[in-house]
Structure 1
Amino acid sequence: MAMDDMTGNKPAPPAIELARDAVFLDFDGCLVEIAPRPDAVVIPPDLPAMLTTLAEALDGALAVVSGRSLRDLEHFLSGYAGPMVGSHGAEARGMDPPLAESPAELTALQAELARFAQTQGLLYEEKSHGGALHFRADPTRQQEVEEFTAALADRFPAFAIQPAKMAVELRPEGYSKDGALALLSELPDFSGRRPVYAGDDRTDEPALAWAEANEGYGIKIGEGESAARFHLPEPEDLRAWLAAAVRG
């Protein structure tokens, strides 16, 4: 599906069809608002319980799919016990497989990222299977970060560059959110249902396009180009849309 930059003119998504849909949700910028630091996100107190109730109404067909480490997702969404995919599909809870083994050079890669962040005054986010450099505090550093991570990816071919919102991440080669959706959709709770994916940034576009191409639909949260046919302005709007399905 062709992408366009008229996201704000796209309609809000239809109501969730509990007997028909499988719902996949990104975390940062989607379920919760983006924070200045990855560890500073604010979790609405009722969010884990709402996700649990919605998952039960969907007969288990709900999963969180994020670039975050699985340990972070489990920490922030404590109380929600359903499937969760972290590190862009490289680690998961409730799926067998996939779980990627950490590439042999993970420690060396993370040391390089941490050293660069420290010497250059950038924010480094360590992940279970990689790491990210954030330049949200100073967007003028984007080119510098992109050049450094490109050179690092050349040196560490087991990792791939993953552009994100005001950040660049290195993740294991061969994993992606659309790949995670394809695998999730084969599980009994998800099989035969219409895929519905909500996401907010460039890392979500393959999954949004996958949902659109597989008889489902995508929901773009916030501004920007997207393959999704539907749009919601803010995470709070997505949470309200999810809560409406719980209320019936």
Structure 2
Amino acid sequence: MTGKKPAPPALDPSRDALFLDFDGCLVDIAPRPDAVIVPRDLPGILTELSEALDGALAVVSGRSLHELERFLEGFEGLMVGSHGSEARGMEPPMAEAPQHLGAVKEDLAGFAQEHDLIFEDKSHGAAIHFRSNPAKQGQVEAFTEALTERYDGFMIQPAKMAVEIRPQGFSKDGALAILSDLVQFDGRKPVYAGDDTTDEPALAWAEEHGGFGIKVGDGESVARYHLAAPTNVRDWLAAALRVE
């Protein structure tokens, strides 16, 4: 079981490259996507770590880039949003919004309103959260499946108590592959921390490329290490800054 896996070793700023999910990893999951609470010192910790790693640190999230920038105001390092389709600090992976994006969002928003669920707008996609009514999961899955059949270029991304529609061809492991080609990541071991099914390909990528993954929270994972909650992740990050 994941909970029986060991805690990760101390981060080595001279050798490691660090990739961090946001929701459920750096911050706790909230009832609504806009209600997450970001610890006041988190942007500063990320800034210090990025400097210690000579820039080999990136936040990699399914959230839109503009949301990450708002929540982590003060951190100016690399960020990848929308599951790898937009980025700050590197060439944007997706130059234009996908075709039919407006129609997809409109249909998802209408369904969410009709069923009293939470609609989350994203730069290159959208999601419906059913945390408030788990019994609606089957209906959400069936509706989003029908949407991907109606509109080309999109795929379903299951998440914790949510279903997202996002552009095809982008993923968090793909983002790690692109980031690792940047000069500051050259020769370093990839370390990825994440909590959700959306993170499993990236956790596997880190394990397969000479580094390791850290599963945050409950659930099975390909990662060899485990931390119980975002507070433990933040403690682990802060400990790396205290090493002389």
TM-score by length of 2: 0.98
Measure the CA separation in 1 of the matches of 2:138 and 2:95.
30
Matched to 1:159, the amino acid is: F
Do 2:60 and 2:79's aligned partners in 1 also have CA atoms closer than 8 Å?
Answer: yes
DSSP-derived class of the 1:12 partner: coil
DSSP-derived class of the 2:201 partner: helix
Do 2:85 and 2:92's aligned partners in 1 also have CA atoms closer than 8 Å?
Answer: no
Alignment map for 1:123-162 (pairs within 5 Å): 123-162=118-157
Matched to 2:182, the amino acid is: L
Are residues 1:231 and 2:226 paired? Answer: yes
Matched to 2:65, the amino acid is: L
Measure the CA separation in 2 of the matches of 1:92 and 1:194.
21
Alignment-derived partner of residue 90 in structure 2: 95
Measure the CA separation in 1 of the matches of 2:139 and 2:235.
39
DSSP-derived class of the 1:237 partner: helix
Which stretches in structure 1 are left out of the alignment for 5+ residues? Answer: 1-5
- Aligned residue pair count: 243
Alignment-derived partner of residue 54 in structure 2: 59
Alignment-derived partner of residue 237 in structure 2: 242
Measure the CA separation in 2 of the matches of 1:152 and 1:98.
24
DSSP-derived class of the 2:183 partner: coil
Are residues 1:198 and 2:193 paired? Answer: yes
Matched to 1:52, the amino acid is: T
Do 2:190 and 2:209's aligned partners in 1 also have CA atoms closer than 8 Å?
Answer: yes
DSSP-derived class of the 2:200 partner: helix
Measure the CA separation in 2 of the matches of 1:235 and 1:7.
16
Residue 126 (structure 1) shift: 0.3
Moved more, 98-107 or 116-125: 98-107
Which of 46, 70, 85 aligns to 1:75? It is: 70
DSSP-derived class of the 2:219 partner: coil
Measure the CA separation in 1 of the matches of 2:91 and 2:114.
40
Measure the CA separation in 2 of the matches of 1:100 and 1:40.
30
Q: Structure 1, residues 190-248: CA drift from partner, whole Å, max 9, x if none?
A: 11100000000100000000000101100000000100000000000000000000111
Alignment-derived partner of residue 209 in structure 1: 204
TM-score by length of 1: 0.97
Moved more, 94-103 or 105-114: 94-103
Measure the CA separation in 2 of the matches of 1:239 and 1:156.
40
Moved more, 85-94 or 134-143: 134-143
Give 4+ residue runs of structure 1 displaced > 6 Å after superposition. none
Residue 100 (structure 1) shift: 4.0
Residue 97 (structure 1) shift: 4.2
CA RMSD after TM alignment: 0.7
Measure the CA separation in 2 of the matches of 1:183 and 1:8.
31
Matched to 1:43, the amino acid is: V
Which stretches in structure 2 are left out of the alignment for 5+ residues? Answer: none
Matched to 2:222, the amino acid is: A
Measure the CA separation in 2 of the matches of 1:104 and 1:97.
17
Matched to 2:101, the amino acid is: L
Measure the CA separation in 2 of the matches of 1:131 and 1:191.
34
Residue 99 (structure 1) shift: 3.0
Alignment-derived partner of residue 165 in structure 1: 160
